[in-house]
Amino acid sequence: MKPAPFDYRRPATKAEALRLLSDHRDDDAKILAGGQSLVPMMNFRMAQPTVIIDINRLSDLAFVEERGECIAIGALTRHNDVMHHLLVRIHLPLLAMAYENVAHHTIRNRGTIGGNVVHADAASEVPAVLTALDAEFVIESTEGVRVVGADDFFLGVFTTAVETHELLVEIRIPRPNARAGVSFEEVSLRKGDFAIVSVAVEIAADDGQIESARIAIGGVEERALRAEAAEQALVGASLSDDVIQAAAAAQIDAISFFDAPGLSAAYRRDTAKALLERNIRAAAARAGRMN
């Protein structure tokens, strides 16, 4: 038996879960969803929560829905259910593409999109895509509901806007321009591992002219980075190799890369630059084809 002892609570409704979170706000309570990040940390005793609030019975938090101009995804939706959902395949191809790199099938059977983003690993794929696509996060507590954008949601390594008494209930993703081209690629040590660097790109172009560009880079800072320098360099420009290389170079210059054991800052920089160029080119080519 590995984890330290804890009290186990299994609310049957969202209201009950929010009440428990409120009651235990000062008790080091943790929400248990898929458990694919929390339970390993408990097995190592890196995490020793005193109360576990198991939300797996809140089946009304597992859905993918069209809602006006958004696709809404319930926080408890399992990765595999998001990845294979027809609405995601049709309207959010960038997310579907990124999911090919998220862990392994069995982990995706249990892991949830809400748990993934609240865990907020800096190298995780889904947060990078949600940052690129301007997602909004619906957070509830007994005190009410609030909605925050990606920039205010992801705050740093393992840190989000969700307070101890709050529950992430839903993620809303504005439906992207249907004519846009997308590309996601990462470099990792083994397939299924978190990325060393990942890049997500969505580009809309008309007659060779770039109308819009949304780009995020994972793994290079404490949270997924919105590549504003590259975006600015691309929008309004005519598609060419020179433009793509200049955009990538401008972005790389704006990042201070960090050293990690076995992975130098220089390697991470070169990888980020190569992935930026490659993904911008691929997304632009797909955007071009759709016109």
Q: What is the 3-state secondary structure (H, E, C) of 73-112?
A: EECCCEHHHHHCCHHHHHHCHHHHHHHCCCCCHHHHHHCE
Does position 158 bind other proteins by CB under 8 A?
Answer: no
Q: Please, what is the minimum distance in Å from the beta carbon of residue 28 to other proteins?
A: 15
| Residue 87 exposure: Cα atoms within 13 Å on the Cβ side | 17
> Is the separation of the CB atoms in 112 and 64 below 8 Å?
no
Among 16, 54, 211, 270, binds other proteins (CB under 8 A): 54
Residue 138's contacts (CB-CB under 8 Å, 6 or more residues apart) are 145, 146, 147, 168, 169, 170, 171, 172
Does position 270 bind other proteins by CB under 8 A?
Answer: no
Q: Please, what is the minimum distance in Å from the beta carbon of residue 9 to other proteins?
A: 9
Does position 3 bind other proteins by CB under 8 A?
Answer: yes
Does position 289 bind other proteins by CB under 8 A?
Answer: no
Among 56, 177, 232, 245, binds other proteins (CB under 8 A): 56
Does position 109 bind other proteins by CB under 8 A?
Answer: yes
Q: Please, what is the minimum distance in Å from the beta carbon of residue 73 to other proteins?
A: 19
Among 13, 15, 27, 43, binds other proteins (CB under 8 A): 43
Does position 105 bind other proteins by CB under 8 A?
Answer: yes
Token pair of 26 as six digits: 């000062």
State which amino acid sits at residue 245.
Q
Q: What Rg do the C-alpha atoms of the chain give, in angstroms? A: 19
Give the C-alpha separation, 79 to 109, whole Å.
6
Does position 110 bind other proteins by CB under 8 A?
Answer: yes
20 to 39: interface string for other proteins, x by CB under 8 A: ------------x--xx--x
H helical segments located in the chain: 14-23, 38-43, 79-83, 86-91, 93-99, 105-110, 113-119, 125-132, 150-153, 228-234, 241-253, 265-290
Among 4, 15, 90, 266, binds other proteins (CB under 8 A): 4
Give the footprint of other proteins on this chain (CB under 8 A): 1-8, 10, 32, 35-36, 39-40, 42-44, 52, 54, 56, 103-107, 109-110, 191-192
